Structure 1
Amino acid sequence: MGLRIVVICGCVALLWPACVGRAQSENRTDGHRGWRGERIVASQSFVEGGATIQVDFTAGDLDLPQADIVSWVHASAHSVAVFYGRFPVARARVVIEPISGDSDSIHGTTWGDVGGFPAVTRVRLGQHVTKDELKDDWVMTHEFVHTALPDLPDDQHWMEEGLATYVEPLARAETGRLSEARVWAEFLHEMHNGEPERGDRGLNETQTWGRTYWGGAMFCLMADVSIRRETKDRKGLKDALRAVVESGGGIDKDWPLSRVLQIGDRATGTTVLTDMYAKWSERPVSVDLSSLWKELGVSAGPNHGVVFDAKAPLAGVRQSIGAAR
């Protein structure tokens, strides 16, 4: 997975071998247009997690057949649907825009309530991207996670990106597309990027790359661990997030974050999310990550990997966070 250095998502996942749901192919060239008015040259739809997802291709060259691209989109949708219990919105559109002459770049952006779709994702895909690169991609899953949270104001952008950064590897691991070791290796080696630095004024007021993506992810990890501690591991952040989706809180909604947090807290029977937001949003909160990893039983291993300690105090919590449900 590696360091995520693009502001609007950029590449690195296993391709789901057998897509779940119905697939329908059709050509739509009569007035059907892409994001910036480009002509759509092909379109396919499939059903996943109760949602219909339409994949449109604009004109341009790709080395891979369209079927491989659709399978990659479907695998990502499946991971998100499994994590949330269903796909977060009823209909979604993915517009694939080939980047001619480009090697392996994958860039995505997602919006809510566009052109009659609750969610629309634009993916700029390098012409020479390979099947193996799609297998190891995180961008498409990250973008689909965005569909599970209402559109938030700019000063709460960290919640949108941090949540997607945290949930994406867990969702891929839950469907066998990523190992538990890789999930925790990324967290171990990258989470420090979210720590506050000199001059930090809290997550709402410090909109750097590190605080937006990894500061938000650190908030989610600490919330997950705190909820599990308070509930004796009966509930976790996933329960809160699923409750938001079940309440209709997709990207096409314009809700205050307070409503999202309250729904999540009710689902877990705690006040963790509301309490943490009150502290983290307006002032810097440092986390002793070294102690946290020790409690969770995660330490650095060879080749940028990890070693697990099954006897660590919170080893069961670590296992529950990544467990399939």
Structure 2
Amino acid sequence: MRLSLCCGFLFLLPTLLFGADLPRTYLVKGAERFSPEQQQKLTQWLDFGVTQTARVFGDYPFTMELHLNPRQSRQPVPWANTWRAGVQSIHLYVDSRFSLQHFINDWTLYHELSHLALPYLGDRHAWFAEGFASFMQYQIMHRAGLLQQSPAQWYMDKLGPHRRWYKSDYSVTEVANRLLTQGKYPAAYWGSAWFFVMADEQLVKQKGIRLTTLIANYQHCCRLQDNTLKQVLTSLDTLSDTDLFTQLYQKFTQNPARNVLPVSID
């Protein structure tokens, strides 16, 4: 069901269609900048992305705004970012000449939607937020049947070319933050994503649950209450009945990176 609003469209995705407990709502803005045919393609893509994200995290406890902006490029989504003040928003710059399948196969929407599973943590902890979204984008794509190999192999492949930056006596967070200031974003993102690779492995070993399950539970209890990284870590420790998130944070912020990330990537 689509309801026309003054500035966009409010989508209510029916429970019957997607099997969720509650309808998921999100507001699309900027659709009027595209032709009717392009609007249909882009809204199908957004529907798919929101639905697949909800399969992993459940429904977010808020209404999202998804902003569409036209931009010609050599890829479907050359740029996107989240706006976190007030309404939780994603701004997507899209080249509507690409096919629906190209949009669905692109990682960007899943990455940005993953950001919204956690509160805004500030520039100081951008490494944590970007590592989280980078880890989760492939969890969502795997659940959607879009990956040709396992998420674990993707993480190894992505980190491999950047491993050299982390052969350092500085901590992972110090290295990642320096890489961010230098504009070496993939290196920063995938080094930081290893926090969540390790968290997932330890959760399975200690509790028999996956990190995605924990984050889905987090939406119900804590997403709208937490405002700092310390609060997020405490909530995740409490939900998992462990101290592994606090311990991992100490390891990533205090130990030499060379002793934290894999020694080699085959």
Q: Which TM-score bucket, shorter chain as reference?
A: 0.7 to 0.9
Is 1:203 matched with 2:173?
yes
Checking the alignment, whether the CA contact within 8 Å between 2:127 and 2:192 is kept in structure 1 is: yes
Identity %: 18
Is 1:179 matched with 2:147?
yes
Aligned length: 248
RMSD: 2.7
5+ residue gaps, structure 1: 1-22, 33-41, 294-299, 301-325
The equivalent position to 1:148 in structure 2, one of 114, 117, 124, is 117
The equivalent position to 1:258 in structure 2, one of 227, 230, 236, is 230
Alpha carbons of structure 1 residues 264 and 69: separation in structure 2 relative to 1, 3 Å: same
Aligned residue in 2 for 1:271: 243
Alpha carbons of structure 1 residues 92 and 110: separation in structure 2 relative to 1, 3 Å: same
The amino acid of 2:115's aligned partner reads: H
Moved over 6 A (4+): none
Checking the alignment, whether the CA contact within 8 Å between 1:81 and 1:87 is kept in structure 2 is: yes
Alpha carbons of structure 1 residues 62 and 282: separation in structure 2 relative to 1, 3 Å: farther
Q: Aligned partners of 2:174 and 2:55: how far apart in 1?
A: 30
Q: Aligned partners of 1:27 and 1:268: how far apart in 2?
A: 41
TM, length-normalised to structure 1: 0.68
Is 1:24 matched with 2:5?
no
Aligned residue in 2 for 1:97: 69
Shift, 1:53, TM fit: 0.6
Q: Aligned partners of 1:281 and 1:64: how far apart in 2?
A: 49
> What do the CA deviations read for 1:160-195 (whole angstroms, capped 9, x no partner)?
11111111111222233x236153442221123366
Higher strand share: 1
Checking the alignment, whether the CA contact within 8 Å between 2:53 and 2:113 is kept in structure 1 is: yes
Shift, 1:240, TM fit: 2.9
Checking the alignment, whether the CA contact within 8 Å between 1:201 and 1:284 is kept in structure 2 is: yes
> What do the CA deviations read for 1:276-313 (whole angstroms, capped 9, x no partner)?
101102343333365xx8xxxxxx8xxxxxxxxxxxxx
Matched ranges for 1:49-128 at <5 A: 50=22, 51-57=24-30, 60-61=33-34, 65-84=38-57, 86-99=58-71, 101-106=72-77, 107-114=79-86, 117=87, 119-128=88-97
> What do the CA deviations read for 1:241-279 (whole angstroms, capped 9, x no partner)?
2232122315xx662212111211122222111101011
Alpha carbons of structure 1 residues 284 and 75: separation in structure 2 relative to 1, 3 Å: farther
The amino acid of 1:218's aligned partner reads: W
Aligned residue in 2 for 1:311: none
Local SS of the residue matching 2:149: helix
TM, length-normalised to structure 2: 0.81
Aligned residue in 2 for 1:217: 193
> What do the CA deviations read for 1:89-130 (whole angstroms, capped 9, x no partner)?
32011010112x44434121112243xx2x111111124222
Local SS of the residue matching 1:235: coil
Checking the alignment, whether the CA contact within 8 Å between 1:79 and 1:171 is kept in structure 2 is: yes
5+ residue gaps, structure 2: 15-19, 180-184
